[in-house]
Amino acid sequence: MIPGLSGHPLWSAAFTWIEENAAIAEEGWYDLGVGGARVRVMSYPTKSREVAKYEAHRDTIDIQYTIEGAEGIEFTPTESLIAKEDYNPEKDAQIFETPVASEGRVDNVPGRFSIFYPEDAHLPQLNVEGYGKVRKLVVKVPVTAV
């Protein structure tokens, strides 16, 4: 378990779900059963930076975990970006203009995860050399639950 996160029942449930279900879960939504958190399993071909969209969420924290393949995810604080679209409360998403340079990037390969808080705008779905698609899951953790 992850030090500092495992003490909270929601974080513990999220990582336990990943350990027990990630490899066998079909695409779709799953209720985590704690604090209103949900898990979405998905797969898609990755994209170039020019096509992918920078996004942020206000009500949820994302745990993005790669099951197969790989994807790059750039990140930048929301306060440093220019909104491209208004915040959509139904999707809990706001789209931003992609900056010339991001604050950082992670390449999630199988077994690797990244956590993005509401202040962390992120640009997922990016190509990683040697890979063309990704199968992943995102745990949507309500901010109010932690």
Q: How confident is the model at residue 5 (pLDDT cuts 50, 70, 90)?
A: low
Q: Are 68 and 77 in contact (CB under 8 A)?
A: no
- Please tell me whether residue 80 adopts helix, strand or coil conformation: helix
pLDDT at 3 over 90: no
pTM for the predicted model, two decimal places: 0.92
Residue 127: what pLDDT? 97
Residue for token digits 């990704």?
Answer: 134
At the top level of CATH, the class of 9-145 is mainly beta
pLDDT in tens, 21-80: 999 999 999 999 999 999 999 999 999 999 999 999 999 999 999 999 999 999 999 999
